[in-house]
Amino acid sequence: MRRLRWAAVAMALLLCGTAAPAAELEKPSIQLAVGGKVLVAYLPLTIAERRGYFAKEGLTVEISDFAGGSKALEALIGGSADVVCGAYEHTLYMAAKGLSIKAVALQANSFGLVVGIQNDKAPAYRTLADLKGMKIGVTGVGSASHFGLRMLLAKAGMTDNDVSVITVGGGAVAIAAIKTGRLDAIANFDPAISLLQRDGAIKTILDTRNEKDLAYLYGAPFAASAFYVDARFAERYPKTTQAFVNAISAALAWLATASTDEIVDMVPPEYYANDRALYRAMIESNRQRVSPNGRISPEAASLTYKNLAAFEPTFKNVQIDVAKTYDNSFIERAPSFRAN
């Protein structure tokens, strides 16, 4: 886990104007957990951080970066995080367990999941049934990549008990695990996937960055990466929650109009192993999936739930009010919100 502290108020003043007085917020310093900050699906977080939008709102955000989204969720449930940058589906899982977690802003309507076979194993692969018995890497057990893999396996009548699921995160460890043959296959996201494809390390069998495979696996764009909080946090700290969402809304608005080169300039080179051209291509292939305004539609939320409930035992004999797993009121009050 890496801990990164963002408190550059002076930079925020330069980039964004006068910062909001921290005294107006109930909790001006908050903890955020994320499972793989480098993932392109979490780009709005990096933009909000590096463009100073948090500081402009009077917020200091301390970011804890975990290997996978399930660990970030654990941090929230355990009380060491106030906000999670992760999968919207986690709010549904928690609802099934009687816990009220609410998504307050959507980042993307797809994670851009890609499943690939390790190059040396690729010649033996013909159909999904050939995944049986393979060692398959995911960002984390219980994460969005694991969820997507389970959906793919189900299409061949299999479960994740038919394979060996291995946690490898979404960065250098995942890449090395494929290249060294520790894994037979991988279910992951950009930038790791594009780096593996560049080096010819995998044969891609599913790529939900394109519309055809997205529709095949999920049915349509859905509620994917989001920011979520414990419902009690939003009730106790409404001004703080609003300030946080304001910053995310500003990041989404900037992403909607920025050029690809401007986006690449804003991201640390270590996100893409100093291969600027490759990262530029990643942005081009993923940016249509970025939410235009952060609002979670009832249709997208319901599709996520439908996909989960189709094969996840957690949801058997449990009634969930999907509308209670997200709250659009904060994003719709944000100054940068665009109702499109």
pLDDT tens across 308-326, in order? 898 888 888 898 999 999 9
- How many whole angstroms from its chain centre is CA 258? 21
Q: Which residue's entry shows tokens 């891609």? A: 204
Does the pLDDT at position 237 exceed 80? yes
Q: What is the pLDDT of residue 93?
A: 94
Q: Does residue 55 contact residue 7 with C-beta atoms inside 8 Å?
A: yes
Dump pLDDT digits (tens) for 260-312. 999 999 999 988 888 999 999 999 999 989 999 999 999 999 999 999 898 88
Mean pLDDT throughout 192-214? 96
Q: What is the pLDDT of residue 21?
A: 53
Cα–Cα distance for residue pair 49/4, rounded to 1 Å: 10
pTM of the full structure = 0.87
Q: What percent of the chain has pLDDT over 70?
A: 93
Residues comprising the chain, all counted:
340
Average pLDDT of the chain, as a whole number: 91
Closest to 134 (Cα-Cα) out of 176, 173, 177, 183 = 183
Mean pLDDT throughout 126-140? 96
**Neighbouring residues of 215: CB distance < 8 A, sequence distance ≥ 6:** none
Does the pLDDT at position 14 exceed 70? no
> How many distinct helices (H) and strands (E) make up the chain?
15, 11
Q: Across the beta sheet with 225-230, what order do the strands follow?
A: 2-6, 60-66, 29-35, 83-87, 225-230, 101-106
SS3 content of the chain, % helix, strand, coil (to 5): 50, 20, 35
Q: Does residue 122 contact residue 178 with C-beta atoms inside 8 Å?
A: no
Q: What percent of the chain has pLDDT over 90?
A: 82
Cα–Cα distance for residue pair 67/197, rounded to 1 Å: 21
Question: What are the structural domains, with CATH classification, of the chain?
Answer: 2-110+222-333 (3.40.190.10), 114-218 (3.40.190.10)
DSSP string of 137-167, one letter each residue: EESSTTSHHHHHHHHHHHTTT--GGGSEEEE
- How many whole angstroms from its chain centre is CA 114? 14
Mode of pairing for the β-strands spanning 225-230 and 185-188: unpaired
Dump pLDDT digits (tens) for 63-75. 999 988 889 999 9
Dump pLDDT digits (tens) for 149-197. 999 999 999 999 999 999 999 889 999 999 999 999 999 999 999 999 9
Q: What is the pLDDT of residue 340?
A: 67
**Neighbouring residues of 212: CB distance < 8 A, sequence distance ≥ 6:** none
Q: Does residue 209 contact residue 39 with C-beta atoms inside 8 Å?
A: no
Q: How confident is the model at residue 338 (pLDDT cuts 50, 70, 90)?
A: confident
Q: How confident is the model at residue 95 (pLDDT cuts 50, 70, 90)?
A: very high
Q: What is the pLDDT of residue 273?
A: 80
Closest to 190 (Cα-Cα) out of 90, 116, 259 = 116
Cα–Cα distance for residue pair 151/215, rounded to 1 Å: 12
Q: What is the pLDDT of residue 200?
A: 96
Does the pLDDT at position 232 exceed 70? yes
